[in-house]
């Protein structure tokens, strides 16, 4: 009834090929942006930002990055944790070496450095595919973590090998360090998430994204129709690592504040982000958000419900949490192998016909 | 969206639940995950002591204790979530039981004005209370431990370590790297050769490290391990027939969980400790009567008297004593975190106090002050008796080498102060 193309006349190609061609969808998108940018910062507190919103936003960026590589370009990567570590250590070195430069640029530069490292580790993808490439990126994961643990220069020779973020400001408002306000860190991450999602969306529906998808669907056919696999694959690695690097930088500088590479950026992180992408939906920006939300919010929700609501012992709740999350992942993947994004697509199709289905 | 709404309701419910008239203590425990075997006894001891105070004395100074437990799984992100979700409940002190989480909480808790007690772990230079106003690490820290281990080795070797080779097997993390700087300084003083052998998390694979030890035959091996790493290391040492009395673990490598799997082979293994072992203290009778007898024991109730249970109990005892001190200073029953901080800073543990509590000789006597948040670092050595399945204390509480440690603590604290923009001072 509300959700339909009928009556929404487009008079230009630009209007016709916009991201949200349906009016209802468009307004819904604006409403989400309005709530996220204007309303949430007014009511947010430390718990909500540190336990829920910040991990959600930062994991969303990482999931978008990995989705470009895995979902759009078809190159399986298990190196996400390692690339996040590159972003984190890059931003740490930049923050401590150039304290006068704004943290905003440091985060972007950290993304750039990660993109470079990502391209280096993407080179094997020109020769190897599928599971074998996954193993090669797994090597990147272990190598990078080992490197940051082994070479003291990366952690400025601190006794413990930990890196901790010094205080940095944007427009005079602190966004890293201990004395931050909830709304400031939230908005800082939100801006990055919004811009990254916007860039990713527009890249993936343009010529570049079509090249990636052509490589994904059949690389030989893509080569025959004129897609250069070298450029396509390496650009996917670069763009993906750029986003992953930004998420790693924010994860360290804004969210955790102090990081130990082996514990925070280990292989578990790579799998977590990969699961977000798979559960959310391969090849979908919305899916990246949905997957991140699912895996960040569900454990927190279960913990609050079981321990806080029902008053169960914490260890029982923690074990049940693993079982419930695991079971739900299996249920979701059996019911909808294409992830939460596909459920959303199906829901939209149904909404088009509502309330008069055939 | 619906999920968020539900969790909003649940979160709001939690925030509103605790009554403010009680003394709220938090336990960031880990009863799950790779380090659960060590996290459970500590959490049980911590919980049982407060249960005992509630059951026997009606709390501390007439105020009942409300213990909020939050499961971290030794995971930093979950630790942050726990901190944020519990700090609004009026939590008086945090004991994260993880060096990684402690590093997270140092700036956060300082900004929020809540004290952190990292007992025998965390950042060593937090001993300098002028820089780390809200962080306490009494009664001993890793550098004290390293120094006491070397002192014990000096005793064993007739006062000289010249030309000896000492290996450090350590968890390759912030925790395991802590003693390296001290051991390097001490090697300059005593002339031993230090050999570093990192073990990556979680430490199940140590073949290459122990092969190296077998080849190079160090005179002594020190270990900074945690969780499964300890068991594997001790088993590997048994396998290569390394003389157990030359193998010393830090206090986190000295629990029953670590030595029992190696059976008789582990006989003679040494570990450091800053509190006594066993359940041969009058307080444990009260625990049997008021906690176990009343069916209120934490967890499965099977950990009483183990090394880590005693450590959890000791941590709770120190927290309760600090709360009593704070109640005395401010002449009030209910406490705020700031008052609790004052109590911790003026804490004095004496032999008479411990005897009155039913824990005679349980730990060293020490006094906390604004300049010294770390106590005197007195540490003892215990040795495992595989036949009797118990730890025997073989030395008194030994004082560390302050001459080496003080400059290191000062330097590291000064570096932190400069990095974080803190002006050191007691006001």
SS (H, E, C) B331-400: CCCCCCHHHHHHHHHCCEECHHHHHHHCCCCCCCCEECCCCECCCCCCEEEEEEECCCCEEEECCCCECC
Helix A340-353 vs helix A267-280: crossing angle, to nearest 10 = 20
Q: Is the pLDDT of residue A9 over 60?
A: yes
pLDDT score recorded for residue B3? 53
> CB distance A164–B419 less than 8 Å?
yes
Average of pLDDT values for B107-115? 89
Residues of chain B in contact with residue A51, where contact means CB-CB under 8 angstroms, are: 80-81, 84-85
pLDDT score recorded for residue A306? 86
- Condensed to tens digits (0 to 9), the pLDDT of residues A293-313 reads 999 999 888 888 888 788 888
pLDDT score recorded for residue B328? 92
- Condensed to tens digits (0 to 9), the pLDDT of residues A54-65 reads 999 999 999 999
Nearest of B161, B154, B141, B307 to residue B224 by alpha carbon = B141
pLDDT score recorded for residue A337? 86
CATH of domain B2-140+277-375+408-420: 3.40.50.2300
Average of pLDDT values for B122-146? 90
Q: Is the pLDDT of residue B1 over 60?
A: no
> Which member of A297, A301, A315 has the closest CB to residue B32?
A315
pLDDT score recorded for residue A328? 87
Distance of CA B285 to CAs A173, B29, B64, B279, Å? 56, 25, 21, 9
Q: Is the pLDDT of residue B104 over 80?
A: yes
pLDDT score recorded for residue B175? 86
CATH of domain B142-273: 3.40.50.2300
Q: Which helix (H) or strand (E) holds B68?
A: strand B65-71
> Which member of A52, A178, A266 has the closest CB to residue B111?
A178
Q: Is the pLDDT of residue B309 over 50?
A: yes
Average of pLDDT values for A315-340? 88
pLDDT score recorded for residue A312? 84
Q: Which residue of A has its CA nearest to B98?
A: A263
pLDDT score recorded for residue B269? 94
Q: Which residue of A has its CA nearest to B123?
A: A160
Q: Is the pLDDT of residue B19 over 60?
A: no
> CB distance A258–B107 less than 8 Å?
yes
Q: Is the pLDDT of residue B312 over 70?
A: yes
Q: Is the pLDDT of residue A67 over 60?
A: yes
Average of pLDDT values for A112-139? 91
Q: Is A320 on the interface with B (CB under 8 A)?
A: no
- Condensed to tens digits (0 to 9), the pLDDT of residues B156-189 reads 999 889 999 999 999 988 888 888 989 999 999 9
Residues of chain A in contact with residue B84, where contact means CB-CB under 8 angstroms, are: 46-47, 50-51
Q: Is A261 on the interface with B (CB under 8 A)?
A: no
Q: What percent of chain B has pLDDT over 90?
A: 54
Average of pLDDT values for B377-390? 92
DSSP of B176-194, one letter per residue? HHTTHHHHHHHHHHH-PEE
Dist. CA A306–CA A317, nearest whole Å: 6
pLDDT score recorded for residue A143? 94
Tell me how crowded residue B342 is: count the other CB atoms within 10 A of its CB.
Answer: 18
Tracing tokens 């122990």 back to the chain, one arrives at: B210
Q: Is A142 on the interface with B (CB under 8 A)?
A: no
Tracing tokens 């249960």 back to the chain, one arrives at: B51
- Condensed to tens digits (0 to 9), the pLDDT of residues B184-201 reads 999 999 999 999 999 988
State the count of interchain CB pairs (< 8 A) between A and B: 134
Q: Could you state, in order of their start, the residue ranges of all structural domains in chain B?
A: 2-140+277-375+408-420, 142-273
Degrees to nearest 5, angle at CA B210 with B387 and B33: 75
Q: Mean pLDDT check: name the lowest of A318-327, B6-15, B194-203.
A: B6-15
pLDDT score recorded for residue B18? 42
- Condensed to tens digits (0 to 9), the pLDDT of residues A29-61 reads 999 999 999 999 999 988 889 889 999 999 999
Surface of A (275-294) touching B: CB under 8 A: 293
> Which member of B32, B88, B111 has the closest CB to residue A47?
B88
Q: Is B411 on the interface with A (CB under 8 A)?
A: no
Dist. CA B111–CA B118, nearest whole Å: 17
Return mean pLDDT, chain B: 88
Phi-psi domain of B393 (left: phi exceeds 0; alpha: psi -120 through 50; beta: other): beta
If DSSP codes are grouped into helix, strand and coil, which group holds residue B90? coil
pLDDT score recorded for residue B13? 45
pLDDT confidence band for A85 (50 / 70 / 90): very high
- Condensed to tens digits (0 to 9), the pLDDT of residues A18-27 reads 888 888 888 9
Residues in chain B, overall count: 427
If DSSP codes are grouped into helix, strand and coil, which group holds residue B94? strand
Distance of CA B369 to CAs A323, B117, B297, B320, B415, Å? 47, 14, 34, 17, 21
Tracing tokens 């006094």 back to the chain, one arrives at: B367
Quote the DSSP letter at residue B63.
B
pLDDT score recorded for residue B16? 42
Tell me how crowded residue B371 is: count the other CB atoms within 10 A of its CB.
Answer: 12
Tracing tokens 């004095």 back to the chain, one arrives at: B348
Reduced 3-state DSSP string for chain A: CCCCCCCCCCCCHHHHCCCCCCHHHHHHHHHHHHHHHHHHHHHCCHHHHHHHHHHHHHHHHHHHHHHHHHHHCCCCCCCHHHHHHHHHHHHHHHHHHCCCCCHHHHHHHHHHHHHHHHHHHHHHHHCCCHHHHHHHHHHHHHHHHHHHHHCHHHHCCCCCCCEECCCCEECCEECCCCCCCHHHHHHHHHHHHHHHHHHHHHHHCCHHHHHHHHHHHCHHHHHHCCCCHHHHHHHHHHHHHHHHHHHHHHHHHHHHCEECHHHHCCHHHHHHHHHHHHHHCCCCHHHHHHHHHHHHHHHHHHHHHHHHHCCCCHHHHHHHHHHHHHHHHHHHHHHCCCCHHHHHHHHHHHHHHCCCCC
pLDDT score recorded for residue A179? 81
Q: Per the confidence metrics, is the pTM higher than 0.95?
A: no
Q: How far is A227 from chain B (nearest CA, A)?
A: 41
pLDDT score recorded for residue B7? 54
Nearest of A244, B94, B172 to residue B103 by alpha carbon = B94
> CB distance A303–B71 less than 8 Å?
yes
pLDDT score recorded for residue A91? 95
pLDDT score recorded for residue B5? 55
If DSSP codes are grouped into helix, strand and coil, which group holds residue B161? coil
Nearest of B365, B347, B274, B357 to residue B53 by alpha carbon = B357
Q: Is the pLDDT of residue B17 over 60?
A: no
Q: Is the pLDDT of residue A335 over 80?
A: yes
Dist. CA A165–CA A88, nearest whole Å: 10
Q: Mean pLDDT check: name the lowest of A177-181, A206-210, B67-71, B124-128.
A: A177-181
Q: Is the pLDDT of residue A174 over 70?
A: yes
Q: Which residue of B has its CA nearest to A311?
A: B14
Average of pLDDT values for A74-100? 93
pLDDT confidence band for B426 (50 / 70 / 90): confident
pLDDT confidence band for B6 (50 / 70 / 90): low
pLDDT score recorded for residue B8? 54
Tell me how crowded residue B61 is: count the other CB atoms within 10 A of its CB.
Answer: 17
Dist. CA B66–CA B55, nearest whole Å: 12
pLDDT score recorded for residue B422? 84
pLDDT score recorded for residue B20? 45
Q: Could you state, in order of their start, the residue ranges of all structural domains in chain A?
A: 44-265
Q: Is B111 on the interface with A (CB under 8 A)?
A: yes
- Condensed to tens digits (0 to 9), the pLDDT of residues A201-232 reads 999 999 999 999 999 999 999 999 999 999 99
Q: Is B202 on the interface with A (CB under 8 A)?
A: no
pLDDT score recorded for residue B250? 94
Residues of chain A in contact with residue B421, where contact means CB-CB under 8 angstroms, are: 167
pLDDT confidence band for B15 (50 / 70 / 90): very low
Residues in chain A, overall count: 358
Residues of chain A in contact with residue B106, where contact means CB-CB under 8 angstroms, are: 258
- Condensed to tens digits (0 to 9), the pLDDT of residues A231-244 reads 999 999 999 999 99
Average of pLDDT values for B212-241? 93
Dist. CA A269–CA A260, nearest whole Å: 13
């Amino acid at each position: 009834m509300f959700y339909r193309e009928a009556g929404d006349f487009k008079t230009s190609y630009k209007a016709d090929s916009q991201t949200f061609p349906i009016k209802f969808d468009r307004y819904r998108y604006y409403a989400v942006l309005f709530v996220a940018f204007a309303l949430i910062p007014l009511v947010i507190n430390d718990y909500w930002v540190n336990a829920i919103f910040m991990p959600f936003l930062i994991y969303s960026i990482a999931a978008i990055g990995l989705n470009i590589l895995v979902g759009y370009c078809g190159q399986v990567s298990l190196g996400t944790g390692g690339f996040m570590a590159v972003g984190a250590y890059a931003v740490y070195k930049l923050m401590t070496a150039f304290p006068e430069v704004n943290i905003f640029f440091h985060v972007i530069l950290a993304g750039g450095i990660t993109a470079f490292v990502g391209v280096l580790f993407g080179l094997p993808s020109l020769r190897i595919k599928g599971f074998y490439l996954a193993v090669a990126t797994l090597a990147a994961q272990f190598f990078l973590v080992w490197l940051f643990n082994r070479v003291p220069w990366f952690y400025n020779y601190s006794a413990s090998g930990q890196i901790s973020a010094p205080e940095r400001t944007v427009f005079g408002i602190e966004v890293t360090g201990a004395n931050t306000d909830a709304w400031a860190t939230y908005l800082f991450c939100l801006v990055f998430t919004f811009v990254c999602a916007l860039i990713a969306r527009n890249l993936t529906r343009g010529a570049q994204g079509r090249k990636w998808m052509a490589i994904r669907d059949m690389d030989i056919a893509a080569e025959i129709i004129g897609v250069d696999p070298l450029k396509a694959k390496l650009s996917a690695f670069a763009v993906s690592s750029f986003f992953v690097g930004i998420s790693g930088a924010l994860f360290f500088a804004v969210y955790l504040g102090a990081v130990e590479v082996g514990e925070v950026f280990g292989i578990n992180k790579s799998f977590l982000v990969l699961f977000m992408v798979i559960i959310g939906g391969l090849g979908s920006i919305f899916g990246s958000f949905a997957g991140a939300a699912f895996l960040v919010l569900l454990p927190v929700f279960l913990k609050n419900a079981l321990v806080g609501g029902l008053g169960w012992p914490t260890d029982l709740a923690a074990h049940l949490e693993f079982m419930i999350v695991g079971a739900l992942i299996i249920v979701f993947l059996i019911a909808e192998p294409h992830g939460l994004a596909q459920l959303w697509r199906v829901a939209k199709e149904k909404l088009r016909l509502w309330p008069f289905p055939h | 969206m619906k999920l968020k709404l539900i969790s909003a309701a649940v979160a709001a419910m939690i925030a509103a639940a605790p009554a403010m008239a009680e003394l709220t203590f938090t336990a960031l425990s880990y009863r799950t995950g790779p380090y659960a075997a060590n996290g459970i006894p500590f959490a049980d001891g911590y919980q049982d002591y407060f249960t005992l105070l509630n059951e026997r004395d009606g709390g501390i100074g007439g105020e009942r204790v409300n213990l909020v437990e939050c499961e971290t799984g030794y995971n930093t992100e979950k630790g942050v979530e726990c901190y944020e979700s519990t700090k609004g409940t009026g939590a008086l002190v945090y004991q994260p039981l993880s060096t990684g989480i402690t590093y997270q909480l140092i700036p956060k808790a300082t900004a929020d004005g809540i004290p952190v007690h990292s007992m025998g772990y965390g950042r060593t230079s937090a001993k300098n209370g002028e820089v780390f106003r809200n962080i306490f690490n009494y009664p001993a820290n890793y550098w004290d431990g390293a120094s006491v281990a070397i002192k014990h080795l000096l005793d064993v070797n007739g006062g000289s370590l010249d030309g000896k080779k000492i290996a450090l097997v350590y968890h390759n993390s912030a925790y395991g790297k802590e003693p390296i700087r001290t051991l390097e300084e001490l090697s300059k003083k005593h002339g031993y050769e230090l050999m570093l052998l990192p073990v990556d998390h979680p430490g199940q694979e140590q073949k290459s490290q122990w092969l190296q030890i077998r080849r190079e035959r160090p005179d002594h091996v020190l270990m900074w391990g945690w969780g499964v790493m300890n068991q594997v290391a001790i088993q590997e040492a048994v396998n290569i027939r390394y003389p157990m009395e030359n193998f010393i673990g830090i206090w986190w490598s000295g629990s029953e969980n670590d030595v029992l799997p190696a059976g008789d082979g582990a006989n003679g293994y040494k570990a450091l400790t800053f509190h006594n072992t066993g359940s041969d203290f009058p307080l444990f009778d009260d625990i049997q009567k008021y906690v176990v007898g009343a069916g209120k024991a934490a967890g499965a109730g099977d950990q009483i008297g183990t090394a880590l249970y005693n450590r959890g109990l000791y941590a709770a005892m120190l927290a309760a004593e600090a709360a009593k001190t704070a109640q005395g200073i401010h002449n009030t029953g209910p406490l705020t975190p700031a008052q609790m901080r004052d109590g911790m800073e003026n804490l004095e543990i004496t032999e008479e106090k411990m005897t009155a509590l039913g824990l005679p000789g349980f730990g060293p006597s020490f006094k906390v002050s604004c300049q010294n948040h770390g106590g005197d670092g007195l540490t003892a050595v215990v040795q495992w008796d595989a036949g009797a399945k118990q730890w025997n204390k073989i030395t008194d509480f030994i004082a560390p080498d302050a001459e080496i440690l003080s400059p290191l603590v000062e330097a590291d604290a000064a570096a932190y102060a400069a990095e974080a923009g803190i002006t050191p001072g007691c006001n």
